[in-house]
Amino acid sequence: MSSFNLKGKVAIVTGGNGGIGLGMARGLADAGADIAVVGRNAEKSKAAVAELTSRGVRAIAVAADVTDKDAVGRLVERVASELGRIDILVNNAGINIRKPPHALELEEWSSVIDTNLTSAFLCSKAVHPAMKAASGGKVINIGSMMSIFAASFAPAYAASKGGIVQFTRACACAWAADNIQANAILPGWIDTDLTKRARVEVSGLHERVLARTPAARWGGIDDFAGIAVFLASPASDFVTGTAIPVDGGFSIMG
């Protein structure tokens, strides 16, 4: 279907070298987009680029810490110069530090907020001129069930993911006139490196997730290909400012 076709488009996926970011990058590549994979781990990025290239698109690895404003500026310049344009930004890089508020240090708080929320601001602001000049673009931000719910062990993470939804809405309002749509995806519990540790650190988590998820399974990274293509393509041109759960029904379970 042509409204889902991304041929000729260029996407930046932060944290696209693994986990949910790689799942979305695979979907975007299968729809025809060229991909810039952003991460700090060069080995992981190299493997992701090899995989994406084998799907028949151009892909590059950009080593950058997305909390660093200058690095983000260089990243956007490099993508524009090597891939020629920027149409899609996926703000997916994220971390968690699992401690209750009274045990969390300021440095830990800042590290989570900077990685999960400030990075989305830095990257979105940096790509806006290119998208505006191209008369349109798509910003896709990754929230969480913690954008809706909370947990005693996730004060900074929940604050950052709640913030992502409101930041998305602000961008949607500010940039609608530039034909830039901004939307958020709220993943449920997904089997990635991030949650492997959670299953060890939070006792009973695995069973609780299965019991509360109507789909009765953890999500996989390829569950994010379809939503990424939809939100990156002309099919979603009248969809902006939303936060769409991709959670096997976790968020509607009473």
Q: CA 87, CA 96: separation in Å to the nearest integer?
A: 29
Stretch that binds ligand NDP, among 75-83, 121-129, 166-174, 190-198 (CB under 6 A): 190-198
Lay out the site mask for ligand NDP across 58-97 (x = CB under 6 A, - = otherwise): -------xxx------------------------xxxx--
Smallest gap from Cβ 147 to ligand NDP, in A, equals: 9
Count of chain residues binding ligand NDP (CB under 6 A): 30
Binding mask 18-37 for ligand NDP (x = CB under 6 A): xxxx----------------
Comparing CB distances to ligand NDP, the nearer of 95 and 134 is 95
Comparison of 176 and 210: residue with beta carbon closer to ligand NDP? 210
Interatomic CA distance for residues 38 and 13, integer angstroms: 6
Strand partners, 39: 63
Asked if 205 is part of the footprint of ligand NDP (rule: CB under 6 A), the reply reads no
Of 115 and 213, CB closest to ligand NDP? 115
Minimum gap (Å) between residue 100 Cβ and ligand NDP: 19
Based on the number of CB atoms within 10 Å of its own CB, is 193 exposed (0-12), middle (13-18) or buried (19 or more)?
exposed
* Alpha-carbon span 45 to 54, nearest angstrom: 14
Output the six-digit token pair for 139. Answer: 């910003």
By CB under 6 A, name the one of 124, 144, 233, 240 that touches ligand NDP.
Answer: 144
Contact between 244 and ligand NDP by CB under 6 A: the answer reads: no
Inter-residue contact 206 to 235 (CB < 8 Å): no
Counting Cα atoms < 13 Å in the Cβ hemisphere of 128 gives 15
244 carries an active-site annotation: no
- Positions touching ligand NDP (CB under 6 A) are 14-15, 17-21, 38-41, 44, 65-67, 92-95, 115-116, 142, 144, 187, 189-190, 192-195
- Residues carrying an active site annotation: 157
